Structure 1
Amino acid sequence: MRTERNLTRLDRVFARLDREPERPAHLDVPRMSRHRVALLAGTLLFYLAIVWLVVDTSWLVRLDWQVMFFRPYQQWSEIHWFVDYYVVLGQRGPTAVMVAAWLGWRSWRQHTLRPLLTLGASLLLLNITVGAAKIGMGRLGPHYATTIGSNEMGLGGDIFPSGHTANAVVTWGILAYLASTPRARRWLSAVSAVTSLGVGLATVYLGTHWLSDVMLGWTAGLLVLLALPWCEPLITRAETAIFDLRDRWRARRALPTAVKPVEVPVPLKPRTAPQSEPAARSGRAPAYLAPGPHTTRSERTPVTPVGPRRPPHPDRVARGTASAARPLTGG
């Protein structure tokens, strides 16, 4: 009696790596529900509150200066090497490459471009919103501060909000946003939250950002993730347009090469001797024909020749007559 072999963990991994025969129908696309809208509104209010506290040079600015004077990179210098490597998880270039590689495999396996298009839309939205806020507020970082206790706003800086922190929230949070099961979404949400929290604290440890910069970076990244469902119709239209373009290109390549039609030469009609206009009108024969009635060859009576066809010869004798004896010569 044969029993089925139990699948090992390695077998399940290789089965997971195989490409699905068609696009799965259970892909969950997040919707802009009332709960998400309320969360988005609350996050936006928190964003504006942080900006107001910094502009007003409130207790949050005083906390920024206290943390800066504490100099964490000197207090815990033994972990400096680890923080230098860990903060790379918030840089836009390396993280975008790693996440795009994973989402590219997801796109190939599930026959859809939605993961890659969603990543592109989120990074575009992040660069526009965070970049505009950085340039608009122009805050200087701790290493370039000029006046103790000031908010350092409007001095041509570009650190408020923290780009590393916001990029970590969006880049790693997009994995939870695109998760296909609720369990995977919960686990990936926890991992992305811990990763982005660590990246933000790493920038404070290194002294490249104020604590308020990191708080605003977390909020800015969360706003991008919460607003992504509004981009889903545009992502769907872009995916449909790309697939239509691919199908037309494949159909154009599959067409056989056009065969040029062979021109069959048309036989030319034999030229007839031109007749002069007066002769045609009068009914007379042309000048080069002898006068008199003329008939065609088929209308003539055949003439049978009489007698032999050979010309007469003096030495020939007609058949049926006796030939005269030839004289003998000699003795």
Structure 2
Amino acid sequence: MRGSAAKISTMHSPRPAPGTPPARRLTPVRTCAALAVLSAVLLVLVAVSWSPLMSLDRTVANGLHDWAVDEPGLVRLNRLLTDWVWDPWTMRALLAVAVVWLLVRREWLLATWVAVTSAVGTFVQQGLKAAVGRERPQWPDPVDSAHYAAFPSGHSMTATVSLILLLWLLGRHLAEGRWWRWGLAAAVVSVVGVGFTRLFLGVHWLSDVVGGTLIGACWAAVSIIAYERVVLNRKR
């Protein structure tokens, strides 16, 4: 009886129509589209200086700056993290190591793809900074300094692009087990951490950091989807 019941249950369970792609295959594209929309909306709001957003930026900046002024030890720690551990050049160096490793494995196209993605990401970042021309926070008692325009945060965008690419390569060449989960945890901590350091040191607004993260994630996703769907499909 149990066997008959199981067979009937199997016969009547709904099955996807032939040729219907699995929903998970649509997830990367939908995620990329969502990131693009959010990035565009935030970019417009910053460009037009939308009052509620500007007020939120100022409130967060004032609160963190007051904290930083009272905690010189935390300032030194955050400067160490932002200038060395999560500096854009550190992120690019990690990606360069991965590119060299791919070259050693003779994966020429993938190595070139990753390098170009990183370079174009930097170009986009600098172009947006010049186009938006947003001023950085100004303080009578600054705890750190930074130059050039504020939006988007270069530290946040570079870290996001670099770490997503590294996670992608890790997933392609290693089983998505313990090492990948550790890598994901480190990437999340790093993206959040680098954003916090820029805010704590008073050199960026909250929307700069969020914008850098969103735009960086969107660009990395576009590059990965293009490689997976265009390059790999041609090879097949």
- Give the TM-score, by structure 1 length: 0.53
1:169, 1:218 within 8 Å by CA — same for their partners in 2? yes
Equivalent in 174, 179, 182 of residue 187 of structure 1: 182
Question: In the alignment, what sits opposite 2:74?
Answer: 79
For the pair 1:51 / 2:38, whether they are aligned, the reply is: no
Equivalent in 165, 169, 183 of residue 160 of structure 2: 169
CA shift for structure 1 position 226: 0.7
Give the Cα–Cα distance (whole angstroms) in 2 for the partners of residues 123 and 204 of structure 1. Answer: 24
Distance 1:219 1:122, change over 3 A: same
Count of matched residue pairs? 196
Distance 1:235 1:44, change over 3 A: closer
Distance 1:98 1:36, change over 3 A: closer
Aligned AA (1:59): P
Which secondary structure does the structure 2 equivalent of 1:143 belong to?
coil
Aligned AA (1:38): R
Instruction: Map 1:96-135; keep pairs closer than 5 Å.
Output: 96-108=92-104, 110-114=105-109, 116-135=111-130
C-alpha distance after superposition, 1:21-60 (max 9, x if no partner): xxxxxxxxxxx94211100111111112222333242322
1:200, 1:214 within 8 Å by CA — same for their partners in 2? yes
For the pair 1:42 / 2:6, whether they are aligned, the reply is: no
The structure with the greater share of residues assigned to helix is: 2
Question: In the alignment, what sits opposite 2:56?
Answer: 63
Q: Which has the larger radius of gyration?
A: 1
CA RMSD of aligned residues (A): 2.9
For the pair 1:89 / 2:105, whether they are aligned, the reply is: no
Give the Cα–Cα distance (whole angstroms) in 2 for the partners of residues 99 and 41 of structure 1. Answer: 25
Which secondary structure does the structure 2 equivalent of 1:141 belong to?
coil
2:78, 2:197 within 8 Å by CA — same for their partners in 1? yes
Gaps of at least 5 residues in structure 2 are: 1-23, 141-147
Aligned AA (1:74): V
Distance 1:76 1:165, change over 3 A: same
Give the Cα–Cα distance (whole angstroms) in 2 for the partners of residues 96 and 227 of structure 1. Answer: 19
Give the Cα–Cα distance (whole angstroms) in 2 for the partners of residues 47 and 203 of structure 1. Answer: 19
For the pair 1:196 / 2:188, whether they are aligned, the reply is: no
C-alpha distance after superposition, 1:229-257 (max 9, x if no partner): 354289969xx9xxxxxxxxxxxxxxxxx
Distance 1:236 1:117, change over 3 A: farther
Which secondary structure does the structure 2 equivalent of 1:161 belong to?
coil
CA shift for structure 1 position 116: 3.0
1:104, 1:115 within 8 Å by CA — same for their partners in 2? no
1:117, 1:235 within 8 Å by CA — same for their partners in 2? no
2:29, 2:225 within 8 Å by CA — same for their partners in 1? no
Aligned AA (1:60): L
Question: In the alignment, what sits opposite 1:140?
Answer: 135
Instruction: Map 1:1-331; keep pairs closer than 5 Å.
Output: 33-54=25-46, 55-70=48-63, 71=65, 72-87=67-82, 88-108=84-104, 110-114=105-109, 116-143=111-138, 158-179=149-170, 180=173, 181-183=175-177, 184-232=179-227
Aligned AA (1:138): G
Displaced runs of 4 or more, over 4 A: 233-237
Which secondary structure does the structure 1 equivalent of 2:138 belong to?
helix
Gaps of at least 5 residues in structure 1 are: 1-31, 146-156, 241-331
